Amino acid sequence: MLYFNNDYSEGCHPKILEALAKTNLEQTPGYGEDAYCRRAAEKIRSLCRREDAAVHFLVGGTQTNMTVIAAALRPHQGVLCAVSGHINGHETGAVEATGHKILQLPSADGKITAEQVASAVGAHRADPSFEHGVQPKMVYISHPTELGTLYSLEELEELSETCRGLGLYLFLDGARLGYALAAQAGEMTMADIAGLCDVFYIGGTKVGALFGEAVVIGNPALREDFRYLIKQRGGMLAKGRLLGIQFDTLMTDGLYLSIAAQGVAMAERLRRTLKTLGVPLLVPGITNQVFAVLPDTVLDALAETFVFSEWERVDEAHRAVRFCTSWATREEDVEALCQALEKLCRT
């Protein structure tokens, strides 16, 4: 079987494995206080053009989301989020388990707008019983979103401005950030994101690492005592250097962006074929996720050789499915997928 169901089916980029092997028997301090973590953090700060930013390394996305949110909010405060947001539907209520309500905003494409945020906050503040509602204090977005869509620089600027004007924190979940930056090369940089968000993270798990997410905290109000929170929420790796070594490798010589670009190119290859075949996309996209609407017959045949994710039923005879490429996707496998699609769709 060839796996196109997600972007975490393989291990890690060979350079990371090499670095882990090379350093394996070195002795270092634990809990992220080693030289590799320091070096990786410096490289990230430099890419972000924020010498003052705090950089921390955590193991996974759910852990990072709940830790950042628990660190930032008081008990009566909640986080605005698209109804399709990862924290809302795919993390077993991890945020609520820290005591905070997710304030859902409708969204067709996975994104939310500055206007939605302003309107929700405005409604809360105008309510004479506002103290009986949860106070919106943070906005959570993913970039790319769950549907693979992207914020334009302008949209992100508007969100950022709105949040700052209203006294809310803007938190960007970048579990797939590499694919966004690669797809928007020339339009948006990591420094743009660091400048516009109060806190965000650079996903490693889905972009070349074995695991790991690098949290970048620009807003000084959110930096205080963050390591206590990492420890309390179970995210402080004893051998923290494993995270430092991985991010150090990814942030060296543009590896992170270049392997993400490769993942995006593989998805582009697939999108071209689908376009040629007249297969509609559920949502247009330019990153490593492709949401295609295909006949059940095609999908059932395809499933004999390829693994993909079921997304939703579109009509009696069609389903939307997700094909996901990654830094590890091999050209010959995408070729095989495209050929199979061509064959099945044309018969």
Which residues 147-186 are close enough to bind a copy of itself by CB under 8 A? none
Strand order of the sheet with strand 199-203? 54-58, 213-217, 199-203, 169-173, 135-142, 77-82, 102-105
Structure tokens at 236: 């402080």
Q: Which stretch binds a copy of itself (CB under 8 A): 24-32, 188-196, 286-294, 338-346?
A: 24-32
Number of neighbouring beta carbons within 10 Å of residue 27: 6
Shortest reach from residue 134's CB to a copy of itself, in Å: 4
Residues 28-57 as x/- pattern, contact with a copy of itself by CB under 8 A: xxxx--------------------------
**Cα–Cα distance measured from residue 270 to residue 212, given in angstroms and rounded to the nearest whole number:** 28
Shortest reach from residue 238's CB to a copy of itself, in Å: 4
Residues 115-134 as x/- pattern, contact with a copy of itself by CB under 8 A: -------------xx-xxxx
Count of residues interacting with a copy of itself (CB under 8 A): 77
Q: Which stretch binds a copy of itself (CB under 8 A): 17-25, 46-54, 180-188, 288-296?
A: 17-25
Q: Which stretch binds a copy of itself (CB under 8 A): 143-151, 203-211, 214-222, 264-272?
A: 203-211
- At which residue do the structure tokens 């991985």 appear? 246
Q: Which stretch binds a copy of itself (CB under 8 A): 189-197, 206-214, 265-273, 291-299?
A: 206-214
Instruction: Candidates 49, 125, 239, 275: give the one binding a copy of itself (CB under 8 A).
Output: 239
Answer whether 102's CB lies under 8 Å from 95's CB: yes
Answer whether 36's CB lies under 8 Å from 246's CB: no
For residues 49, 187, 287, 48, the Cα torsion angle rounded to the nearest 10 degrees is 0
Shortest reach from residue 54's CB to a copy of itself, in Å: 13
Answer whether 66's CB lies under 8 Å from 97's CB: yes
Amino acid at 142: S
User: Rule CB under 8 A: is residue 219 a binding residue for a copy of itself?
Assistant: no
Number of neighbouring beta carbons within 10 Å of residue 165: 12
